Amino acid sequence: MSAASLIRRTGLLALCLLLAAFSTLAVAQAPKAPAVSSPAYEPTSGQAGKDVVWVPTPQAVVDKMLDMAKVTPRDFVIDLGSGDGRTVITAAKRGARALGIEYNPDMVELSRRNAEKEGVAGRASFIKADLFETDFSRASVITMFLLPDLNLKLRPKILALKPGTRIVSNSFNMGDWEPDQTANLSADAGCTSSYCTALFWIVPARVAGTYKIPQGELTLKQQYQFLSGTLRTDSKTLALVGEVHGTDFAFKAGGRDYRGKMNGKRLELR
Ligand SMILES: C[S@@+](CC[C@H](N)C(=O)[O-])C[C@H]1O[C@@H](n2cnc3c(N)ncnc32)[C@H](O)[C@@H]1O
């Protein structure tokens, strides 16, 4: 091969390499086609839900509910019918792990996006499920904003939770199971809607029964967190009244105060 033809061939090769490099670069730098995004889902207050419509709990009431339940990073909070995720997200911002159970799949997706935006997606999760068919017994705190008849339907399951589990409901009660605390928020406190009442319960240990104690025979009758009954000593039978909060109980009999703890099925007096 002559020197001239060698130079021509080498030049051609260099040109090919240059073109190849340029096209790779062009592909790498080609602007990406815009992602096709569906229009953002916007819920409307009052929209239909499976067993109850969606109406959001005002943020001031969410805060109050979590205050009453004394939510800390050690808690696992479950919101039954979690809507746009606000209660779960607020609990996660307090360091708790929190789960929302919500039937509407669009609300579940919206909640996940909201948790992502608020930077708590690691602690706030949501499942698309029917709250009446979902096990929520792992919760240390249950929050809800449902309806009185739905609360009543849930009540047996709630009363069977671990003693000490805290329950908070926006506005609706639990029938004849009286709340341990009630808080009404005013407009000044940040609640201007019709749903400004937070109700709080602690699942009571089951203490009803008859026990031998150093003072005699103790018979406890229980109506939710309220105790009545008798303390029978050698000389007399004293009526008693008391309360049980989680596993702790206290009662008064014959002018004397007694306190104790239920340790499983064992009653321990202090
Ligand atoms: C009144 S909203 C409360 C939303 C949220 N907890 C709050 O306080 O802002 C009730 C929610 O329960 C949901 N819901 C209704 N029936 C349900 C069911 N059977 N299982 C799960 N979620 C349900 C509705 O879609 C709605 O989002």
- Our answer on whether the CB atom of 151 is closer than 6 Å to any ligand 1 atom is no
Q: Provide the whole-model pTM.
A: 0.86
pLDDT in the model for residue 157: 98
Over the chain (270 residues), the average pLDDT of each successive run of 10 is: 48 44 43 52 97 98 98 98 98 98 98 98 98 98 98 98 98 98 97 97 97 95 98 95 98 96 94
Mean pLDDT of the chain: 90
Distance 19 CA to ligand 1 centre (A): 61
Ligand 1 atom nearest 62 alpha carbon = 8
* Close Cβ partners of 244 (under 8 Å, ≥ 6 residues apart): 204, 205, 207, 222, 225, 226, 227, 262
Q: What is the pLDDT of residue 34?
A: 43
Asked if 124 and 90 count as a contact pair (C-beta separation under 8 A), the reply is no
Closest CA to 270 of 241, 248, 255, 254: 248
For ligand 1, whether the C-beta of 158 sits within 6 Å is no
Question: How high is the pLDDT of residue 179?
Answer: 98
pLDDT of amino acid 9: 53
Report how far ligand 1's centroid is from the alpha carbon of 147 (Å). 10
**Per-residue model confidence as pLDDT tens digits over 57-66:** 999 999 999 9
Distance 51 CA to ligand 1 centre (A): 8
Report the run of H or E that residue 155 belongs to, with start and end.
helix 148-159
Place of tokens 């009803």: 208
126 three-class SS: strand
Gap from CA of 101 to ligand 1 centroid (Å): 8
- Residue having the nearest C-alpha atom to atom 9 of ligand 1: 56
Q: Is the CB of 172 under 6 A from ligand 1?
A: no
Cα 177 to averaged position of ligand 1 atoms, centre (Å): 22
CA distance 78 to 87: 9
